[in-house]
Amino acid sequence: MRILQVLLVLIILGLQLRLWSGAGSMAEISRLKDSIAEQESENATLQSRNNELLHEVEELKTGTDAIEEMAREELGLIKEGETFYMILDSEDSTRNQSTIREQDGQSQAPSQPRNRQPKD
């Protein structure tokens, strides 16, 4: 009888050890569930992006409005007879003025070569 009790305790301990560590353990299952949730979230984000791209492709295939919009935004194109106005923020304006000053300083550099002494 005593041997049977010891054997049962050892079996229960072995099962508990298997339950909490190793392959198929509760810790591994929890980690895998977290990994699945993270992957599903990433898949949903990518699916949303794919849907947006498919919609954009359909717009480009069916109408000229989308093409015109892309040409205006990405290439800066304007129609004939239109006037282009660029409105800058004060920060952009300051940055552009300093860039223009730098370019003016470079363009005002002497264009004639310096006098050099001939080598003997």
pLDDT band (50, 70, 90) for residue 62: confident
| Ordered DSSP codes for 17-74 | HHHHSSTT-HHHHHHHHHHHHHHHHHHHHHHHHHHHHHHHHHHHHH-HHHHHHHHHHH
pLDDT 10s digits, 79-112? 888 887 777 777 766 766 777 777 666 655 554 4
d(CA 12, CA 42): 41
Statement: residue 75 has pLDDT above 80: yes
Q: Which of 20-24, 58-62, 96-100 has the highest mean pLDDT?
A: 58-62
Q: Would residue 116 be called left, alpha or beta, if left means φ above 0 and alpha means ψ between -120 and 50 degrees?
A: beta
**pTM for this predicted structure:** 0.43
pLDDT given for residue 120 in this prediction: 47
Contact between 40 and 46 (Cβ < 8 Å): no
More confident residue, 41 or 66: 41
Domain ranges, ordered by start, for the chain: 2-79
- In the chain, how many H helices and how many E strands? 4, 0
- Tokens found for residue 50: 């794919």
Contact between 67 and 60 (Cβ < 8 Å): yes
Looking at residues 67-83, what average pLDDT do you find? 83
Mean pLDDT of the chain: 80
